[in-house]
Amino acid sequence: MGIVASANWGLLPGYTVIGITLGGIYALAAIGLVLIYRVSGVLNFAQGAVSMFSAFVAYQVSTVMGYPAAVGLLAAIVAGGAIGYLIERFTIRPLAGRAPLSKVVVTIGWLLVLQTAAGLIWGQTAYHRPVQLVSIQGFTFPGTSVVVGWDEFTTIVVALGLAFGTAAVLRWTTFGTSMRAVADDPVAARLWGINVNRVMAVSWVAGSAMGAIAGVLITPRINFDPISLTLVVIDAFTAALIGRLTSLPWTVIGAMFLGLAETYPRIFSSNAGAGNAVTFALVLLTLAILFRPGTRLVQRMAAGRDYVPVPAADNPPVRRVIVAAAIGVGIVIPLLFSGYYQSLAAYSLIVGLIVLSLVVLTGLTGQISFCQYSFAAIGAFTVGSLVGGHGWSFWPALLLGVICSIGIGVLVGIPALRLSGLFLAILTIAVALFFDHFLLAPGTLDSFSGGVSSWTVARPSFLGISLDGSYAFYLFTLAVFLVAVLAVWNLSRSKTGRVLRAIRNSEIAAATSGVNVTAWKLTSFGVSAGLAGLAGGLLAPGIGSVSAGAFGFQQSLAVAAIAIVVGVRSVGAAAVGGIFLIFGPELLTHTPISTLAFPLIVGSILILQVILTPQGVVPDWQARFRKRFPPAPRFPTAPEPLVVEPMPNLTASEAPTVKV
């Protein structure tokens, strides 16, 4: 009651207008998402990046080059449509017949490429002047004192017009009938003479163009930079989910409701992240209520086939020699480098633990996650707040951080009991953004996050040995990493690993066989989050401080992309992924290429890898290794039966005699 009483109700009319305007922008982006999903079955995670890049094209044309804003809008629409065509024609179409999750991964690669390219061209975080299509001056709504700007009025009209126009095209035109036919059954549509490829290309062009319009319209209302504009896609996802990814009218209603739900909390709280908390709650409720397990049976089975199990047959003697040599190199080589590079090597192993957490969750159990750095943040901030804020010893703080990470992982895993594939990916993105913009934001839990300051954590001692030196801390992280890798490797080869792979391949079949799917899925989420929390807890003394900027959604996205590139089904991917993520940008410092281009390189590699080597780089190397050094047969070859030649007919004198 105190919150209601302290609310500034005089802001309600103005925030209602702002909320409906935001809802109109979300509706435009969501309509594009629904259009693409209905026709091609692909949930375009790059929709926000397409909107962002197109908005910057409008900025370049109208603000930098001085052309009218309408010309900039037209350029943005053309750019958005062209990008949509490139994505569909050259990266989605080659994946025809593959699981939906593979296509989602490609769109994530495009997200990284477009976001990084925009940052390199127009500046990553610099302020950019919004593209103002119409005047902010407006009129007073009849019978009230509410002032509606012409820009707000235009946004609402355009959103509703395109929504109803798209619905009319789909319902009453020949091409709309073709689109609905392709959406229902592409094979049958092709038999009826419909050009399925052309229909899908048009849907991507139209959906991306609508996203471009949304991107231009929203520039006056949020921070105009590559990251903020890209993250608008989560709001569009929420609106599209309310429409069940099929209904345009319900999508528009959901977008309007979302705009109001994000705006109204500001009446009650000055915390800017309160609206993001509402968005997360809406995502969770929408997924839990509207999407039921039975409707996702095909997706669950398809997602399980994305990553086939690693063959159990290998060459143990050769493998042991390679592993021993790698460990020896890992111990000796860092001695030749400076403390700076020894610290980088330690960081690469810590990041490798986060990649390893995805090996458990995605490689073994088949559950996708884009919030692993959020789990790492729990471990890091628990250590930071207890050690830096309350004077705890490092080791009990690290243990508690791992336990808390496991608990949060299990909580996130509860919705995964109903969700899988695409919808679980959306949920984990919402979790990551909830951490970024609310839980770790200043003003929410400052006693945990440190507020605007950073926690300071010194390197501890272990068994009386100081870890303050770079090489000592590196050896300690190497030991922890090797123990974790060995544990996960044994897990994958054990009966438990076979149970988890059975759940990944088919939850229905596993449950029929008597497997407690609920317990094992929650266990995998807990173990995965615990590994990530351990990494976060070690990162705190490794860096020396804990701040929210080191655990953002972008880091989760990058580590998931690298895990998929190197091969999320192999424990060897943990070391390769960690080294690539840490030393990749460092290598760029010795080239003319900016380190800011590293996500663009990662996204490009991710797109090519999904198309060319879908199982990942490390599993591909392992397959080549098994061909070069085939394993010994598990069972000895049975000896060939003896062939007894018939004895010739002998006379009595020639017959052999036996002496007694």
pLDDT at 600: 92
Average pLDDT of 201-222? 87
Closest by CA position to 211, among listed 407, 342, 79? 79
Is residue 246 classed as helix, strand or coil in its secondary structure?
coil
pLDDT at 632: 59
pLDDT at 363: 87
pLDDT over 90, % of the chain: 28
Select the more confidently predicted residue: 116 or 628: 116
Q: By mean pLDDT, which of 189-198, 262-271, 489-498, 600-609 is the weakest?
A: 262-271
Inform me whether the pLDDT recorded for 306 exceeds 50.
no
Structure confidence by residue, pLDDT tens digits, 36-69: 888 888 888 899 899 999 999 999 999 899 899 8
Identity (one letter) of the amino acid at 574? A
Residue 232 binned pLDDT confidence (cut-offs 50, 70, 90): confident
Name the phi and psi angles at 545, rounded to 5.
Answer: -155, 165
Structure confidence by residue, pLDDT tens digits, 233-269: 777 777 888 887 777 888 888 888 888 877 777 666 6
Environment class of 136 (CB within 10 Å of its CB; exposed 0-12, middle 13-18, buried 19+) = exposed
Mean of the per-residue pLDDT values for the chain?
81
Residue 66 is encoded by which pair of tokens? 């001085």
Residue 32 binned pLDDT confidence (cut-offs 50, 70, 90): confident
Q: By mean pLDDT, which of 193-207, 261-275, 313-327 is the weakest?
A: 261-275
pLDDT at 616: 66
pLDDT over 70, % of the chain: 80
pLDDT at 307: 45
Structure confidence by residue, pLDDT tens digits, 60-106: 999 899 899 899 999 999 999 999 999 999 999 888 777 777 788 89
Q: Does the CA dihedral 311-313-314-317 come out positive or negative? A: positive
* C-alpha to C-alpha distance for 71 and 68, rounded to whole angstroms: 5
Radius of gyration of the CA atoms of the chain, in A:
29
Beta strands 545-546 and 455-456: pairing type? Answer: antiparallel
Inform me whether the pLDDT recorded for 229 exceeds 80.
no
pLDDT at 470: 92
Closest by CA position to 357, among listed 511, 549, 571, 546? 571
Report all structural domains of the chain as residue ranges with CATH numbers, in order of start.
12-268 (1.10.3470), 315-628 (1.10.3470)
Average pLDDT of 571-581? 88
| Angle made by CA atoms 561, 563, 565, in degrees to the nearest 5 | 70
Structure confidence by residue, pLDDT tens digits, 397-437: 999 999 999 999 999 988 877 776 777 888 888 888 888 87
Inform me whether the pLDDT recorded for 481 exceeds 90.
yes
pLDDT at 266: 67
